Amino acid sequence: MNEIQPTVLSRKGIAVRLLYTFFFLIVFEILKIIVQVTVVFQYIYLFITKTYSEPLRRFANKVSAYTYGVMRYITLNENGLPFPFSDFPKEADPPESEAHFE
């Protein structure tokens, strides 16, 4: 039978994690702006050319994977510090082969 042992927390450790969390909350707000600008630009590009920008699509996919990692850290669901304290994450899931507009 496996018993889960309670983790002993130190106030210093909690305070350090809280400081990192404040930093990543600011990063998260910047990421939201980046996503919004990316979406607007992608749709402007789409209306003009009638096709989406594949490089922008790949960039947005990487940003979304990074944003997910930041969200997991600040919500205490992941312990590893996100970028710039670790490697930038790879794409979580590849984009669908083609976006549909119906």
For residue 7, being part of any structural domain is answered with no
For residue 33, being part of any structural domain is answered with yes
The string of pLDDT tens digits covering residues 40-83 is: 999 999 999 988 888 998 899 899 989 999 999 999 888 887 87
H/E stretch holding 10: none
For residue 41, being part of any structural domain is answered with yes
Question: In this structure, what are the phi and psi dihedrals at residue 68, rounded to the nearest 5 degrees?
Answer: -60, -45
Q: How many domains does the chain have?
A: 1
Contact between 68 and 92 (Cβ < 8 Å): yes
For residue 56, being part of any structural domain is answered with yes
Contacts of residue 87, Cβ cutoff 8 Å, sequence gap at least 6: none
For residue 69, being part of any structural domain is answered with yes
For residue 58, being part of any structural domain is answered with yes
Residue 7 CA to residue 13 CA, distance in Å, equals 12
Residue written as token pair 């994450």: 89
Note the pLDDT of residue 6. 62
* Collapsed DSSP state (helix, strand, coil) of residue 4: coil
For residue 93, being part of any structural domain is answered with no
pLDDT at 19 over 60: yes
Contact between 57 and 31 (Cβ < 8 Å): no
pTM above 0.85, yes or no: no
pLDDT band at 100 (very low <50, low <70, confident <90, very high): low
Instruction: Give the structural domain span for 68.
Output: 15-74
* Collapsed DSSP state (helix, strand, coil) of residue 54: helix
For residue 89, being part of any structural domain is answered with no
- Please give the structure tokens belonging to residue 27: 């990063």
